[in-house]
Copies of this chain bind each other. A is one copy, B any other.
Amino acid sequence: MQERIGVIDLGSNTTRLIVMGYTPHHSFRLLDEVRESVRLAEGIGADGQLQAAPMERAIATMRLFHTLCRSANVKMIVPVATSATREASNQAHFVARIAAEAGLTMRVLSAHEEAYYGYLGVANSLDIRDGFVIDIGGGSTQVSMVRGRGFVRWYSQPVGALRASEHYVRSDPISNKDFRALETGVAERFAGLDWFASDRGPMLAGIGGTIRTLAEVDQKLCNYPLDRVHGYVLSRDRLESLIEQLRGMNQRQREDLPGLSRDRADLILAGGVILAHLMRRGGFDTIMVGGQGLREGIFYEHFLVGEHPPLFADMRGFSVQNLARIYNYEALHAAKVRELSFSMFDQLRQFHGYGDWERTLLGYAATLHDIGLAVNYYDHHKHGAYLVLNGTLQGFSHREVALIALLVRFHRKGEVSVESLRDVLSPGDDLRVMRLAALLRIAEYLERRKSQVVQGITVELNGTIRLVTRTVGDATVEIWDANRGAGLFRKAYGRDVEIV
């Protein structure tokens, strides 16, 4: 990691700093993140002026972030401001004060830019080809259209979780009258958004603190098995029943809701109403939640410098490599295990019937199978699964992350069991994991000494399955071990197997 960049996002509600360490086009890692609930947009009246107290808080926070960046040896700082600053009638005064008192020259993003960087964060971290991105902030909401991974349209309204709350939520709990006014007011804001419909792009992604928080609360309510919000699928049904619950609660009760931080407890209802309205309007039953947005979008513009647009050509492949490199994986050994696994997979298609999707996951699992060695030799298959589940894989659904983790888990030792992750898997995944893990396990045995002694495998069939190895040098050890470890293969494919 040669370089460090700090991206500061002075939002209408929250202000955030991320510090990324990176080598352009090669690898990166989040080094630090700080978040302050500044509430810059608080109390803005008809005159459109930022108020004195919020401005003071913002300037103090910018000063803090600036010193944090200096201490962390960050040479490049990119400070941006969004809706609250953009629309403030005293913008020039405020920006000048930040420059004078915090030493930072803000870049005030246009609504177009705000939507674009949010899209860029999503398109580099979720597997979205055609669809839409919703970004609900404190002061504004952006909707973007994605076509062939490209940014093609955007729509922005100065209505966000903080502004809508200030405007409509006047009692605690909210009165029925105010709730209806909130719903109507939100609906009016998006009346002009006529191209946002599920039949024009199948996937909907959502970013921003409001949507992330709604997802976290929902995960706690349903005892979701993964501690991971990026890639979580929130359904409209569950969102609407959550809104019903929140409507009846007062501030204190909301604060006690697991997953909901105190400084969002008063804003979450209005944020939820905006999201539910948009989902209904567009005809979307579900939304995939993204953990990356505006700030990461700005980062990717630097990381992928020279690419137009700055998108990973192979986001999933890059992300797997990035993870493997963090744990100093043995590249030659992993590549050989992958190659042998692929060879068996391809020749055994008639027995498993799986396609390219499974093949790709098998390959990723082969790359990552030994990363758990970084934790402890004993049980390194279990540690590897933990690292996959808790690491920063990008572009995968939770089901895919779970499948990769399970393949890593069962590349050695033990009866295959998917129970702990059942809730994110689909029917048939038990067998899928068993069959793919069986190949990985044999490939691993054939690379027992990490010596690349087994060069290739030919599958021969006559009643039983014979895996005929091509070797350079003596592979007695590997073949002995592979036969000993072929029990999972027999169980997974219901056939006897012999490795020769």
A480 to B57, CA, bound (A): 13
A326 to B451, CA, bound (A): 25
Q: How many chain A residues have a CB neighbour from B under 8 Å?
A: 34
Q: Is the pair B67, A477 in contact by a Cβ cutoff of 8 Å? A: yes
Q: A71-B451, A449-B68, A477-B68 are known contacts. Are A379 and B227 too (CB-CB below 8 A)? A: yes
Residue interface mask A358-383, B partner, CB < 8 A = 1: 00000000000000011111110011
- A264–chain B nearest beta-carbon distance, Å: 15
A377 to B227, CA, bound (A): 13
A383 to B379, CA, bound (A): 16
Q: Is the pair A30, B377 in contact by a Cβ cutoff of 8 Å? A: yes
Q: A72-B449, A377-B31, A449-B72 are known contacts. Are A477 and B390 too (CB-CB below 8 A)? A: no
Chain B neighbourhood of A493, CB < 8 A: none
Chain B neighbourhood of A378, CB < 8 A: 30, 33
Q: A449-B67, A449-B68 are known contacts. Are A377 and B326 too (CB-CB below 8 A)? A: no
Q: Counting CB contacts under 8 A, is A387 at the interface? A: yes
A246-266 contacts to B, CB under 8 A, are none
Q: Counting CB contacts under 8 A, is A99 at the interface? A: no
- A467–chain B nearest beta-carbon distance, Å: 20
A450 to B68, CA, bound (A): 9
- A121–chain B nearest beta-carbon distance, Å: 15
Q: Is the pair A382, B227 in contact by a Cβ cutoff of 8 Å? A: yes
Chain B neighbourhood of A375, CB < 8 A: 387, 390-391
- A438–chain B nearest beta-carbon distance, Å: 19
Chain B neighbourhood of A52, CB < 8 A: none
Q: Is the pair B32, A71 in contact by a Cβ cutoff of 8 Å? A: no
Q: Is the pair B390, A32 in contact by a Cβ cutoff of 8 Å? A: no
Determine the residue in chain B with the shortest Cβ distance to A448. Answer: B68
- A361–chain B nearest beta-carbon distance, Å: 21
Chain B neighbourhood of A32, CB < 8 A: 377
Q: Counting CB contacts under 8 A, is A419 at the interface? A: no
Q: Counting CB contacts under 8 A, is A221 at the interface? A: no
Q: Is the pair A326, B449 in contact by a Cβ cutoff of 8 Å? A: no
Chain B neighbourhood of A33, CB < 8 A: 377-378
Chain B neighbourhood of A382, CB < 8 A: 227
Chain B neighbourhood of A392, CB < 8 A: 376
Q: Is the pair A71, B450 in contact by a Cβ cutoff of 8 Å? A: yes
Q: Is the pair A391, B376 in contact by a Cβ cutoff of 8 Å? A: yes
Q: Is the pair A374, B64 in contact by a Cβ cutoff of 8 Å? A: no
A448 to B376, CA, bound (A): 30
- A386–chain B nearest beta-carbon distance, Å: 6
Determine the residue in chain B with the shortest Cβ distance to A387. Answer: B375
Q: Counting CB contacts under 8 A, is A474 at the interface? A: yes
A449 to B33, CA, bound (A): 12
Q: Is the pair A72, B450 in contact by a Cβ cutoff of 8 Å? A: yes
Determine the residue in chain B with the shortest Cβ distance to A19. Answer: B377
A33 to B377, CA, bound (A): 8
A428 to B212, CA, bound (A): 37
Residue interface mask A48-88, B partner, CB < 8 A = 1: 00000000000000001001100110000000000000000
Q: Is the pair B449, A71 in contact by a Cβ cutoff of 8 Å? A: yes
Determine the residue in chain B with the shortest Cβ distance to A326. Answer: B374
Determine the residue in chain B with the shortest Cβ distance to A453. Answer: B71
Chain B neighbourhood of A480, CB < 8 A: 64
A326 to B375, CA, bound (A): 9
Residue interface mask A444-480, B partner, CB < 8 A = 1: 0000111100000000000000000000001011001
- A289–chain B nearest beta-carbon distance, Å: 14
A residues lining the B interface (CB < 8 Å): 29-33, 64, 67-68, 71-72, 227, 326, 373-379, 382-383, 386-387, 390-392, 448-451, 474, 476-477, 480
Q: A227-B379, A326-B374 are in contact. List 4 more A-B contacts (CB 8 A).
A: A72-B449, A227-B382, A375-B391, A376-B390
For the complex of A and B, the 8 pairs showing the least CB-CB separation, nearest first, are: A71-B449, A30-B377, A71-B451, A64-B477, A376-B390, A375-B390, A68-B449, A376-B391
